[in-house]
Amino acid sequence: MQLFPNVYEISSEFGGRWLKQYLLRGQDKVLLLDTGVITTPETVIFPYLEKLGLFPRNITMAIALHVDGDHHGGLPAIKNASAGTLLGCGRADVALIEDPDVCYAKRMNFLAEKHGLGFGREVMVYSPEGRKIDAPFSGGETIRLSPDWEIEVWHVPGHSEGHLAIYDRKNRAAFTSDAVQSNGYPTVNGGVAFGPTYYEVNAYLNTVHLLESKPIDHMFGGHWPGMHGDSVRKFLASTRAFVERTDELLTAYLRDHRRGATLKQIILDLSPKLGPWPQDMALILQFAMYGHLTRMEQGGKVRRSTTTPVTYAVA
C-alpha cells in the first residue's frame, strides 16, 4: 500500500496480527524498515518489490528497528538475496541480533532461573540465524534518500535498549515499529492479542515524551493501523496511561499481599484488570511487569526475596 509518494507499507498476517514493514524509495537510496520473520522477505517483501519493478539488490539498507524475531528475523534472507545490501539496527541491539543464543538468553528467557517464566527455545524459529550488522545506529543520524529527501534516525528505547524510529521530514511521518504500544497488540479482527511488551519503564516513558515533542502528523507502527493527526496524540496518551494504570494496580496489589507474591502470581491476578486479551496470553506481560517491579525496587518501594522463585513485597 502506498502511504506517500515513494513510501510504501508492506503488510502480512503473522500469528493473528498484522506484521508491517516499510519501504522508502529515494533516488539515491532505497531503505527497508523492519524485515519480518525469517520467511517474510521471500514470501512477502520480494514479491512486493517485484510489483514496484525493484529487486532485492535495489535495497540499499535494511534496518531492523529493534531486536525481535518478527522484526529482525528476515535480515539473513535479505543478505542472502543481496550481498550488497547493508544491514542496520540500534547499537545496543547489535549483539542480540547477531547471535540468536544471546537474544534468547538476554531477551526471551532471562526470567527463567529466578522467576520460572520465559519461553522455550522454539520461539527462536522465527529468527534462527544471526547476521553481522553493517550499520549500527545510536540515534541522531540522518540519511539522504534523494537530493530533497532526508530522514532522521531516533533512539527510542524501552521495548528494547537499542530501539530505533525513523522520521520522514518531508511527510512529517514517524515509523516507530514497537516503540510505543498503547494498550496492547491488536489482532487482525479487531481484538487484543496480548498486552504491551516494554521492558524498561523509565526509558519507555521517555520515548513517549520524545514522540510527543516531535512534529509528527503520521505515525506507523509494526502491528497497528496507521495513525494521523489527533490519533497520534491519543495513541501516545493511551501508552502512558497503561503504564500509570499498571503502577497503580501493582501498588494496591502489593499492599493487599503483605507476605509477598511471585511475578507469575502477580501477572495472573492483574492481567484481567489490565486488558481484554485471552487469559492464556497473560504471561506475555512478564516483561512489562518485571520492569515495573524493578523500578519500584530501585525506588525503595518494593523489596524482593532471595528465594526462588523470587517474591515481591512492600518495602
Give residue 209's pLDDT. 98
The domain segmentation of the chain, as residue ranges, is 2-238, 256-314
Contacts for 238 with CB less than 8 Å, ≥ 6 apart: 182, 183
Q: Which amino acid is at 128?
A: P
Which grid cell sits at 102? 544471546
Give residue 89's pLDDT. 98
Q: Which amino acid is at 138?
A: S
Which grid cell sits at 59? 535495497
Give residue 143's pLDDT. 98
Q: Which of 71, 63, 78, 136 is nearest to 103 (CA)?
A: 71
| C-beta of residue 192 within 8 angstroms of C-beta of residue 238 | no
User: Can you tell me the distance from the alpha carbon of 77 to that of 35, in angstroms, rounded to the nearest whole number?
Assistant: 9
Give residue 126's pLDDT. 95
- 150 membership: H or E segment, kind and range: strand 149-155
Give residue 309's pLDDT. 97
Second CATH level (architecture) for the domain 256-314: Orthogonal Bundle (1.10)
- Report mean pLDDT in 10-residue bins for the chain, 315 residues: 98 97 98 98 98 98 98 98 98 98 98 97 95 98 98 98 98 98 97 98 98 98 98 98 98 97 98 97 98 98 96 97
Which grid cell sits at 231? 490519533
User: Can you tell me the distance from the alpha carbon of 89 to that of 163, in angstroms, rounded to the nearest whole number?
Assistant: 8
Second CATH level (architecture) for the domain 2-238: 4-Layer Sandwich (3.60)
Which grid cell sits at 22? 516499510
Q: Which of 151, 194, 119, 127 is nearest to 22 (CA)?
A: 151
SS3 track for 125-145: HHCCCCCCCCEEECCCCEEEE
Q: Which of 135, 181, 146, 163 is nearest to 7 (CA)?
A: 146
| C-beta of residue 168 within 8 angstroms of C-beta of residue 24 | yes
Q: Which of 147, 79, 23, 182 is nearest to 87 (CA)?
A: 79
User: Can you tell me the distance from the alpha carbon of 268 to that of 80, in angstroms, rounded to the nearest whole number?
Assistant: 42
